[in-house]
């Protein structure tokens, strides 16, 4: 890669134009080597997932800033490495490889100034957001779908005021034990059960399987959520937190939602890249 192009990409990152920088670099690396190109596709997929979760209100501002900085750091590091640093046959679709790309910048690296400049822009924007909307970040904070909330589990293990004489039953759950497709994924719900947490809350547990059918080699996970009377609710816990799945691989995810007991209308949704799969179901009380 010529020096002017590399400097232009670094300037885009410094201006917080991360998506444009990734698109430019992906086009260049596609002609030079599949290993680096696949790594960039992974980074772009992570950025798209962050945007999707941000629009859905599933990430707070602190987490968004942190995740974007990790992607910026990985791109800047690739710009300063020669293509030979990525020999053919090296596995790049592993969590270990991604964690190595996200290590903090070492002093004296030529891309450090760009990373610091980009960090300054993101932090400044975050501070302005906090000043203009005091308290809204904390009050509207929604739990990360890929985070297991240990405090909540403790509460769940000790339910109170449970209507024992009114067992719950999930009815008309969509495509139960019937495989279907969404984008480049094959999906199948194995089971869905509901139980009382208290007289105010219901716990919905779902197990589903997902199979990657992408011709590009990997599939990026879609976000799953429940709509309770129109209000989107993120999972309280998930057993599988991987952001992507390899071609033709199958994964299992056990997901738990805590829903208001007074909800009348339920919808389950998968969403990714501005595409959605949404279906209604019922919980008989």
- In the chain, where the domains are located: 3-139, 150-284
Digitized pLDDT (tens) for each residue of the chain, 285 residues in all:
677 777 787 887 877 787 877 777 777 765 565 667 677 777 777 787 877 777 777 777 777 887 888 888 888 887 777 554 434 433 333 444 444 444 444 444 555 555 556 666 666 666 655 655 544 444 444 444 444 444 444 444 444 566 666 889 999 999 999 999 999 999 999 999 999 999 999 999 999 999 999 877 788 889 999 999 999 999 999 999 888 888 889 999 999 999 999 999 999 999 998 899 999 999 998
Q: Are 104 and 66 in contact (CB under 8 A)?
A: no
What string of DSSP letters covers 102-165? TSPPPTT-TTHHHHHHHHHHHHHHHHHHHHHSTTHHHHT----TT---HHHHHHHTS--S--TT
Helix or strand or coil: residue 18?
Answer: helix
Cβ neighbours for 279, distance < 8 A, ≥ 6 positions apart: 174, 175, 267, 268
Q: Long-range contacts of range 127-135, CB-CB < 8 Å, 24 or more positions apart?
A: 129/61, 130/61
Cut 0.75: pTM above it: no
CATH of the structural domain 150-284, one choice from 2.60.40.10, 3.40.1440.10, 3.40.1010.10, 2.60.40.1240: 2.60.40.1240
In three-state form (DSSP H/G/I as H, E/B as E, the rest C), the secondary structure along 229-264 is: CCEEECCCEECCCCCEEECCCEEEEEEEEEEECCCC
């Amino acid at each position: 890669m010529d020096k002017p192009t590399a400097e232009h990409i670094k300037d885009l990152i410094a201006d917080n134009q991360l998506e444009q920088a990734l698109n430019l670099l992906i086009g260049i690396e596609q002609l030079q080597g599949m290993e680096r190109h696949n790594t960039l596709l992974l980074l772009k997929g992570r950025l798209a997932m962050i945007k999707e979760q941000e629009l859905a209100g599933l990430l707070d501002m602190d987490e968004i800033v942190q995740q974007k900085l990790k992607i910026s750091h990985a791109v800047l590091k690739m710009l300063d490495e020669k293509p030979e640093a990525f020999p053919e046959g090296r596995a790049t679709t592993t969590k270990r490889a991604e964690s190595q790309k996200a290590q903090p910048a070492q002093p004296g690296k030529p891309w450090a100034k760009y990373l610091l400049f980009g960090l300054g822009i993101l932090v400044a924007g975050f501070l302005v957001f906090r000043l203009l909307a005091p308290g809204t970040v904390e009050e509207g904070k929604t739990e990360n779908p890929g985070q297991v909330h240990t405090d909540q589990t403790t509460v769940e293990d000790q339910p109170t005021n449970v209507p024992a004489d009114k067992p719950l039953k999930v009815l008309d759950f969509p495509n139960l034990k019937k495989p279907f497709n969404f984008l480049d994924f094959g999906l199948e719900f194995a089971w869905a059960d509901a139980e009382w947490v208290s007289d105010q809350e219901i716990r919905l547990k779902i197990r589903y399987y997902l199979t990657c059918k992408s011709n590009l080699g990997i599939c990026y996970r879609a976000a799953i959520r429940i709509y309770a009377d129109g209000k989107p609710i993120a999972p309280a816990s998930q057993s599988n937190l991987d952001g992507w799945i390899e071609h033709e691989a199958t994964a299992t995810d056990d997901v738990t939602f805590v829903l208001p007991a007074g909800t009348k209308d339920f919808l389950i949704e998968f969403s990714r890249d501005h595409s959605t799969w949404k279906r209604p179901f019922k919980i008989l009380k």
